[in-house]
Amino acid sequence: MERTGAWEGDHVRVLSLRETGERKESETQLHLFKRSLEASYNGVVIVDALSHDLPIIYVNPAFERITGYFQSEVIGKNCRFLQGNERDPMLVEEIRCGLVQARDVHVVLRNYRKDGVLFWNDLYISPIFSEQGVITNFVGVINDITEKKRYENELSFNVSHDVLTGLPNRALLEDRLRQGCKIAQRYQRRLAVMFIDLDGFKPINDSMGHDFGDLILVEVARRMSDQVRPGDTVARMGGDEFIVLLPDLACEDDVLPFAERLLRNISRPYRVRGVDLHVTASIGISLSDGNIKEPEQLIRQADLAMYKAKQEGRNHFQWYTRDLNLLVSERVNLRNELQRAIEAEDFELYYQPQFDGRTGRIVGMEALLRWHHPQRGFIPPEEFIPVAENTGQIIPLNLWVLDTACRQVKQLGERGVVVPSVAVNVSFVQFQRSNFVESIQAVLQKHDLNAEQLELEITETVLLNNADRSIETLQRIKALGVRIVIEDFGAGFSSLNYLKRLPIDKVKIDHAIVKDVISDRHDAAITQGIISMAHHLQLAVIAEGVETESQVAFLMKSHCDAFQGYYFAKPMPFSEVENLFGKRMLVHEPALEQSATEGRGPTILLLDDEENILRALNRVLRRDGYRILMATRAQDAFELLAKHHVQVIISDQRMPGMSGTEFLSRVKDLYPETIRIVLSGYTDLKSVTDAINQGAIYKFLTKPWDDEQLRQILTQAFRGLDPEHSHDYGMGR
Ligand code: C2E
Ligand code: MG
């Protein structure tokens, strides 16, 4: 490292190391220093302070490793090449001053490796003095702190950003919101806060796993960020809640197209790990009126408006209005009162019996939770259960339900009334808990109840796209001997493949499907599909929300096994249950008996809104021995079709509510084997030809009709039916 030569700078005088008698010793020492420099982990660079432009005279192997340059490439150069094209003038000045003042310098520089990759150089520069006190060299110690720097940056980024999506987090958002409010006030601009919450995200997250849910959140964040302008902020508040801040609006109307665009973009299908999913969002919007004292208030208002948007059916947006404040206080109240009610056990279980379709006997009952509020009266479960699920209060609540149902069934058993089964509703929150199976086992043991007497109703969506864990939980429940019913069946995406993997006993058809089953061809098809699918898998089927005789008849014809609904019995308090079983009540179901005994006698259904036409037709056709059913409204006709075996239908064309061709085309889907005839007073050729072409109509007749011709047509019609049965219909002439 010894060096002689002229220093061409103007501030340091030149001197060299003189050879002395101790040269030998000195050489040994030098060797030692060199070795230690070579072994150093930090890069070391030594420059000649006595030559022009401070050329490098030595670099150690660590320097080569850190910078990617070989010694041979850098000797003779000034170190500044490491800085690439960007220089930080402040740092350059700091180094220059240090060198001039002959003191140590410590700086952190952005440097570039030979391959162009940036590294952070934590650099110490020290002058080396000769014995005469002259600076002969500078030694630089280079420490690559890129990793540390990255980590620090990450840390500071994470303080203000959401780790998953990279969006600003709540803290940064509040900062920008305060700034935005000030600017809006100063420049008379409008500022909007949009609170965005995904619809139905929780079940996806719970059933598909959190990492799957995370992928959706990242994609949602990306789609939202794509929609905003520079200066707007998209932030994540946590979970599936986001906020968009629009700080510079000329007028509030500008928010509308933006909100619509956001909804449209979020609701485009998602494809994650080969699974197609639909996610929508609800948006609440609040606007600054120029003198908001507390900017965070805008977030609360937007949150309230979002809640309202959810209530109004999701996938849309809602503005904040003052009366929403009221709503929130109600929500908070409900939560508090629910807590009080749980502590006071202010609940009651009602039971709704379930009937076997063939025997009419009670096969079980469903336990339904009732809350009688001291002031507000009856609060329906659909109002408080979602709140309880949100707050976690559902756990103690459902444990109480389970405990009470088991205790009461046991109690009945001790009095000689054996309840075949009691069904208890399970919330997805409860189902996901790790000790769920143990809690059931404990309750069964506590009441010494036969496990076969307990059924758990689990909604299909809880298991949807099932994680293997759900199946495992079901298997453990099943191993206890407890039966499992999948409810809301048909509301999700029931796939046969999926269903056959589930260790379940029964499926429950949702009352939303049962409601229009006799007249809506889709609901009818779904119902029949579910029943045949379930039966193939040896599962029983129960229909819920059955309210009319015709629904029962239709479901019976479709081979549904059991029924629950107002038509048979409403949910009742425990005190009435015993009575019900005590009488060993058999349901006398006229429709069932009728359909069983009525055989397959040739039956014609007449539909016409004019009663005199019905009477006239009846007179003509009765003579031929047909059984005649008559209706003046399409809905009544559907009910009759549900209850009876009808082979031929004659319908008027022009009726209020539904045309004859429309009615018959629905009938075609519901009862494809029927023969359908239009008897019309006028001719709307288009609709009639359409209906004929679709195969909905067998014949088109005009009023007034010819009795003889009509009778002949009917004879032919019955002959044309299923040949196996045609002799049964051998009426007419
Ligand atoms: P769900 O399990 O589908 O229960 C059937 C609901 O339909 C009950 O309403 C019942 O009263 C009603 N219902 C029965 N027959 C008919 C009918 O013929 N027509 C009509 N329109 N409705 C009928 P409820 O008791 O108000 O319960 C509503 C929902 O609240 C239940 O739907 C269930 O999801 C939930 N729920 C009730 N009790 C509990 C409980 O103990 N735990 C949990 N997690 N959820 C419960
Ligand atoms: Mg239920």
Find the CATH number of the domain harbouring 548. Answer: 3.20.20.450
What is the model's pLDDT at position 7? 32
Locate the ligand 1 atom nearest the alpha carbon of residue 571 and give its number. Answer: 11
Nearest partner of 246 among 314, 173, 197, 322, judged by Cα: 173
Mean pLDDT, range 669-690, rounded to an integer: 82
- Is 28 domain-assigned? no
Mean of pLDDT over the chain: 85
Count H helices and E strands in the chain, helices first.
Answer: 29, 27
Domain boundary among the residues 547, 581, 615 is at: 581
Judge whether 731 and 625 are in contact, CB under 8 Å.
Answer: yes
The CA-based diameter of the chain, rounded to the nearest angstrom, is 146
Whether residues 308 and 435 share a domain: the answer is no
Judge whether 112 and 84 are in contact, CB under 8 Å.
Answer: yes
User: Tens of pLDDT along 436-470?
Assistant: 999 999 999 999 999 999 999 998 767 754 557 78
- Is 26 domain-assigned? no
Range in 132-141, 566-575, 591-600, 704-713 with the lowest mean pLDDT: 591-600
Rounded to whole angstroms, how far apart are CA atoms 367 and 406?
10
Strand bridging mode 540-544 / 506-509: parallel
Whether residues 561 and 538 share a domain: the answer is yes
Rounded to whole angstroms, how far apart are CA atoms 386 and 664?
42
Q: How many domains does the chain have?
A: 4
| Close Cβ partners of 534 (under 8 Å, ≥ 6 residues apart) | 499, 507, 540, 541
Distance 440 CA to ligand 2 centre (A): 17
Nearest partner of 696 among 649, 632, 626, judged by Cα: 649
Neighbouring C-beta atoms of residue 340, cutoff 10 Å? 11
What is the model's pLDDT at position 495? 59
Token pair listed for 142: 């280079």
Range in 16-25, 129-138, 384-393, 421-430 with the lowest mean pLDDT: 16-25
Domain boundary among the residues 561, 581, 601 is at: 581
Whether residues 650 and 548 share a domain: the answer is no
User: Tens of pLDDT along 280-310?
Assistant: 899 999 988 666 667 888 999 899 899 888 8
According to DSSP, residue 465 is labeled: T
Rounded to whole angstroms, how far apart are CA atoms 658 and 93?
89
Mean pLDDT, range 210-231, rounded to an integer: 92
- Is 13 domain-assigned? no
- Is 22 domain-assigned? no
Q: Which domain holds residue 445?
A: 332-581
**pLDDT above 60 (res 724):** no
Whether residues 313 and 346 share a domain: the answer is no
User: Tens of pLDDT along 646-666?
Assistant: 999 999 988 888 888 889 989
Neighbouring C-beta atoms of residue 473, cutoff 10 Å? 20
Token pair listed for 332: 């908070």
What is the model's pLDDT at position 293? 67
Find the CATH number of the domain harbouring 674. Answer: 3.40.50.2300
**pLDDT above 70 (res 728):** no
Whether residues 237 and 362 share a domain: the answer is no
Token pair listed for 150: 């990255």
Locate the ligand 1 atom nearest the alpha carbon of residue 368 and give its number. Answer: 38
Q: What are the φ and ψ backbone dihedral angles of 655, each rounded to 5 degrees?
A: -135, 155
- Is 21 domain-assigned? no
Pocket lining for ligand 1, CB < 6 angstroms = 352, 368-369, 380-382, 385, 398, 401, 425, 427, 457, 487, 511, 544-547, 565-566, 571
Whether residues 277 and 402 share a domain: the answer is no
Mean pLDDT, range 321-327, rounded to an integer: 69
Instruction: pLDDT band for 329, please (50, 70, 90 cuts).
Output: low
Rounded to whole angstroms, how far apart are CA atoms 15 and 130?
7
Query: Taking the CA atoms of the chain, what radius of gyration do you get in angstroms?
Result: 41
User: Tens of pLDDT along 492-551?
Assistant: 555 566 677 788 999 999 898 999 999 998 899 889 988 988 898 889 999 999 999 999
Rounded to whole angstroms, how far apart are CA atoms 514 and 157?
54
Pocket test for ligand 1, best of 342, 368, 429, 439 (most atoms within 8 A of CB): 368
Whether residues 566 and 595 share a domain: the answer is no
- Is 59 domain-assigned? yes
- Is 6 domain-assigned? no
Neighbours of ion ligand 2 (CB under 5 A): 425, 457, 487
Instruction: pLDDT band for 599, please (50, 70, 90 cuts).
Output: low
Token pair listed for 281: 């969002």
Nearest partner of 665 among 553, 529, 520, 523, judged by Cα: 520
- Is 7 domain-assigned? no
User: Tens of pLDDT along 408-419?
Assistant: 999 999 988 889
Of the ligands numbered here, which is closest to the C-alpha atom of 364? 2
Whether residues 346 and 319 share a domain: the answer is no
Range in 131-140, 177-186, 300-309, 715-724 with the lowest mean pLDDT: 715-724
Domain boundary among the residues 523, 556, 581 is at: 581
Neighbouring C-beta atoms of residue 718, cutoff 10 Å? 22
What is the model's pLDDT at position 4? 35
Whether residues 194 and 130 share a domain: the answer is no
Whether residues 217 and 255 share a domain: the answer is yes
What is the model's pLDDT at position 332? 72
Rounded to whole angstroms, how far apart are CA atoms 653 and 662?
9
Rounded to whole angstroms, how far apart are CA atoms 462 and 122?
55
ω into 704 cis (within 30 of 0): yes
Of the ligands numbered here, which is closest to the C-alpha atom of 566? 1
The whole model's pTM is what? 0.59
Whether residues 452 and 348 share a domain: the answer is yes
Rounded to whole angstroms, how far apart are CA atoms 382 and 384?
6
Instruction: pLDDT band for 75, please (50, 70, 90 cuts).
Output: very high
Find the CATH number of the domain harbouring 44. Answer: 3.30.450.20
**pLDDT above 90 (res 606):** yes
What is the model's pLDDT at position 467? 58
Whether residues 229 and 349 share a domain: the answer is no
